[in-house]
Structure 1
Amino acid sequence: MEQVTFTINEDQHLERIDKLLSAMDEDWSRSQVQQWIKDNFVKVNGEPIKGNYKCKTGDEIVLTIPDPEPLDIEAEQMNLDIYYEDGDVLVVNKPRGMVVHPAPGHVTGTLVNGLMAHCKDLSGINGVMRPGIVHRIDKDTSGLLMVAKNDKAHESLVNQLVEKTVTRRYKAIVHGVIPHDKGTIDAPIGRDEKDRQSMTVTEKNSKDAVTHFQVIERYKDFTFVECQLETGRTHQIRVHMKYIGYPLAGDPKYGPKKTIDLNGQALHAGILGFDHPRTGDYLEFEAPLPKEFEDVLDWLRKRS
């Protein structure tokens, strides 16, 4: 079992405990959090509480996350946007709004559910809840993912991620006008101790994180950029761009409250490249921007 401890800050004062906890991780549905509360896995100041408890500044929250039970993942027919597939690997373009893999309390409608219906041969290294999943992108980020169809391919792709040889380039719209044409953000990322719902740049309990960015186009008060990941930390681009003062447009967690309404951050994993795990040949794929992303760019150009 994993244990998470944090203290309620002023911004979280009077927020319902079940709503607050379910926002900490996209894998935790509100119904799952409510069940944890019923099972006394959540304590406030050392005491069990009810799901409608309203947090108070200074409350100490201790969440004990039970070990996940094996899930019987249901295959679901979906119109997946497959860019490449052979006996070892598959590349898919995930739409905005889709969760990558199931979790307790959230077992349907994910990319993995669709993959299970599309092909029966997925690697089992990441267990029954994440078959074939080598890396993931956030629910509201669109774009390309590589999927392993056997364990040997999975190990090869993971090693390439560790060795930083995988090409991962994202398109993003950020607040503010970046004056320089390109740059590198080298700043470690870890859990925000003041807000356990978020990641932040910190030296404490963090991992190295490096993001390269290049300006594509500037507007009146926004900038269109391409970001290339050298590492793959949780929310890396979102955290790094906020850190240098240019948070992503539409980002409900790291961006300003008054922003472009995209139902999520303006971020698209557009280019993915890697060495084929069997042949060693370098493969690279590019997915165009979603229509809603292009519509925002057109609007920014017109108003500028």
Structure 2
Amino acid sequence: MEKIIQGLDGLRLDVYLADKLGMTRSQVKKLNKEKRILVNHQEVKAGFLLSKQDEIRVYLKGKYQIIPVNKELDIYYEDKDLLVVNKPKNLVVHPGAGEEEDSLVHRLLYKYPNLPILDDPLRPGIVHRLDKDTEGLLLVAKNEFTMKALMEDFKKRRVKKIYKCIVHGLLREPLTINNPIGRSKVDRKKMTTYSEGKKAISHVRPLDWSDNKSLLEVSIVTGRTHQIRVHLKSIGHSIIGDQTYSHQPFYGLDSQALVASQMSFIHPRSHHLLMVQRPNPEYFDTIMKK
């Protein structure tokens, strides 16, 4: 859909369009980066200063709708309020740019069409996330009461999550990594540890080791982006298969040997303590034996 808007003297393009179109400046900048905004038939920067003679053409995408996908769900626990599902590798939890044809949300909506929506229509029932290339247990709310309660529990760090992973190098003693994490100033797609970052704490417990490889259990206190991957890299034990943070042998993997293996939380309605866990992926044994 094409929109034609007249400029206004002295205003930045992104500020003006955000107000005119009811968007955030970030959304306008994204449109501009995708070359969907032209001023006088020319591409300009988001901070371009307008005059009232300028003609702005905005090419908006059609409204995105999630079309449910009929694919099997691997459910580990379910009741009337919530479910714990195992997210497979290489699948995003929810649509991001609004262009995905498949995500965990697409699959959930096929079986559960009435999942609650609070702030974001692209995240029905979703109270936390896993990276696309990390598999494991994910908690999903089936009604608004449960969704609000679980979101508060995650915010207050009352949900305990345990991960397992295989790293390069021998690590035989338990330790706690308390290194702040923030976005890299060199590569904005990566995270890194530095003093100005946000507080991040990971507890690490070795379970097994062989031939310069270690199987670890990692419990996270905070939930920063890529926290476990970045923390382990920072102590010289990057996760095997990590295409972003490791340059060592991948053992045939196309993503990191990392799984969200256990979750403990208080049920919002019954107030009972629930603990759900899943076994290690089969390839964990294969890698440890190699």
TM-score by length of 2: 0.79
Contact 1:175 1:246 in 2 (8 A): yes
- Whether 2:129 is the aligned partner of 1:136: answer yes
CA distance in 2, matches of 1:282, 1:253: 36
- In structure 2, which of residues 157, 160, 163 is the aligned counterpart of residue 164 of structure 1? 157
The answer as to whether partners of 2:64 and 2:98 remain within 8 angstroms in 1 is no
1:30-70 CA deviation, whole Å, 9 max, x = no partner?
xxx899432259xxxx966xxxxxxxxxxxxxxxxx99985
Corresponding position of 2:118: 125
Secondary structure of the residue aligned to 2:154 is: helix
- Give 3-state SS (helix, strand or coil) of 1:218's partner: strand
Written as runs of structure 1 = structure 2, the 5 A alignment for 1:197-212 is 197-204=189-196, 206-212=197-203
- State the one-letter code of the partner of 1:218: W
Correspondent of 2:221 among 223, 227, 230: 230
CA contact (8 A) 1:71 1:129 kept: no
For the Cα contact (< 8 Å) 2:36–2:60, is it kept in 1?
A: no
- 2:183 — aligned with what? 191
1:38 maps to which of 35, 40, 49: 35
In structure 1, C-alpha distance between the alignment counterparts of 2:76 and 2:91, rounded to whole Å: 17
Distance 1:192-1:296 versus aligned 2 partners, 3 A rule:
same
**1:55 aligns to what?**
none
Asked whether 1:177 is paired with 2:170, we answer yes
Q: 2: CA distance between counterparts of 1:274 and 1:155?
A: 14
Match of 2:265 in 1: 274
Q: Which runs of 5+ in 2 are unaligned?
A: 1-23, 46-58
Q: 1:247 aligns with which of 235, 238, 246?
A: 238
Rounded Cα–Cα distance in structure 1 between residues aligned with 2:126 and 2:63? 16
Shift of the alpha carbon at 1:260? 2.3
State the one-letter code of the partner of 1:186. Answer: N
Q: CA deviation at 1:2?
A: 5.2
Give the aligned CA root-mean-square deviation in angstroms: 2.5
Residue number among 278, 283, 286 corresponding to 1:292 in the alignment: 283
Instruction: Identify which of 263, 269, 274 aligns with 1:283.
Output: 274
Determine helix, strand or coil for the equivalent of 2:34: helix
Contact 2:116 2:125 in 1 (8 A): yes
Matches of 1:248 and 1:209 in 2, distance apart? 18
SS in structure 2 of the partner of residue 207 of structure 1: coil
Question: SS state of the match for residue 297, structure 1?
Answer: helix
Q: Which of 238, 246, 261 is 2:252 aligned to? A: 261
User: Displacement of 1:285 after TM fit?
Assistant: 0.6
Aligned-residue offset at 1:161? 1.5
Q: Report the counterpart of residue 80 of structure 1 in structure 2.
A: 73
Aligned equivalent of 1:115: 108
1:107 Cα offset (Å):
2.3
2:141 to 132, 144, 148: 148
Give the share of equivalent positions with the same residue, in percent.
38
Aligned-pair CA distance for 1:242 = 0.6
Distance 2:62 2:176 in 1: 41
Give, in angstroms, the shift of residue 163 of structure 1: 2.1
Residues 217 and 68 (structure 1 numbering): CA distance in 2 closer, same or farther, change over 3 Å? farther
| Deviation, structure 1 residue 210 | 0.8
Which residues of structure 1 form unaligned runs of 5+?
5-32, 49-65, 300-304
Would the aligned equivalents of 1:126 and 1:133 in 2 still touch at CA under 8 Å?
no
Output the CA distance in 2 between the equivalents of 1:68 and 1:221: 50
> Counterpart of 1:108 in structure 2: which amino acid?
E
Separation (CA, whole Å) in 2 of partners of 1:88 and 1:188: 35
| Counterpart Cα distance in 1 of 2:192 and 2:31 | 27
Give the C-alpha shift of residue 293 in structure 1. 2.8
Residues matched between the structures, number: 248
